[in-house]
Amino acid sequence: MFDANLSMLFTELPLLERPQAARAAGFDAVEIWWPFADAVPETREIEAFEGAIVDAQVRLVGLNLYAGDMPAGDRGLASWPGRETEFRTNVEITAAIAARLGCRTLNALHGNFETTAQTVSNYRFAADVAAQAGAQLVIEPLSGAPKYPIKTAHQAFELIDEIDRGNVKLLADLYHLATNGDDLDLLADHVDRIGHVQIADAPGRGEPGTGELDLFGHLAKLRANGYTGFVGAEYKPVTHSFAWRDNA
């Protein structure tokens, strides 16, 4: 089951038109980074976004928390000193959106600061709020972000153990993990700890088949070991074709 990442795909369209474009391209499910400019958007903005999802008749399966100024290099607020209130307010808003749309996966990027007791406390708060909305929280290792401290699955698992909440799992982005040197074959041994999977080929971060990764082979191993969740197509389009799905 593939879902389309609306922050990476169909970007030639305004954001509110992308859910319908995903539907027209054959996707029944979508995911998205935080779709607003601020951590606390106006009610009308939230309603417009939710309406676009509902009107397109697609399922929202993944939603990122506000991560700061991403183009400037920000990668989350969970570890950002002094922004705890902003983070927690955004958690509550994100969880409310998820509850209304039936979204079950919330991605809380760590941020470009070291993990402290406050970071862990923030994550525990987020996990508890997510649980009340019937959702899980996922921790994502990233590549291409030198200051971001969570780069491997092992580092994510260490943080997840410290958070100590049953609904906190790994977001296994095969592109980021491979780029950072992780052995993707080992992921199949930890399927019970994986909450969501995303794909892009490497190098280049294009669609499957444009790089050197055996993405479908790795997905087959994850499925064989019990992974039943969605796989997010989170890549930079090269051919602008979805023919790769025929080979999955």
Q: Report the catalytic residues.
A: 140, 234
Residue pair 55/69 in contact (Cβ under 8 Å)? The answer is no
The count of C-alpha atoms lying within 13 angstroms of the C-alpha of 169, restricted to the half-sphere facing its C-beta, is 23
What is the rounded CA–CA span in Å between residue 130 and residue 134? 6
Q: Which residue has the tokens 């760590």?
A: 110
Residue pair 235/11 in contact (Cβ under 8 Å)? The answer is no
DSSP 53-96: HHHHT-EEEEEEPP-S-GGGT---STT-TT-HHHHHHHHHHHHH
Beta strands in the chain (DSSP E): 2-5, 29-32, 59-64, 105-107, 136-139, 168-173, 194-199, 231-233
What is the rounded CA–CA span in Å between residue 243 and residue 160? 36
Residue pair 173/150 in contact (Cβ under 8 Å)? The answer is no
Burial of 88 (0-12, 13-18, 19+ CB in 10 A): middle
Cis peptide before 203 (omega within 30 of 0): yes
106: tokens are: 């919330």
Residue pair 182/152 in contact (Cβ under 8 Å)? The answer is yes
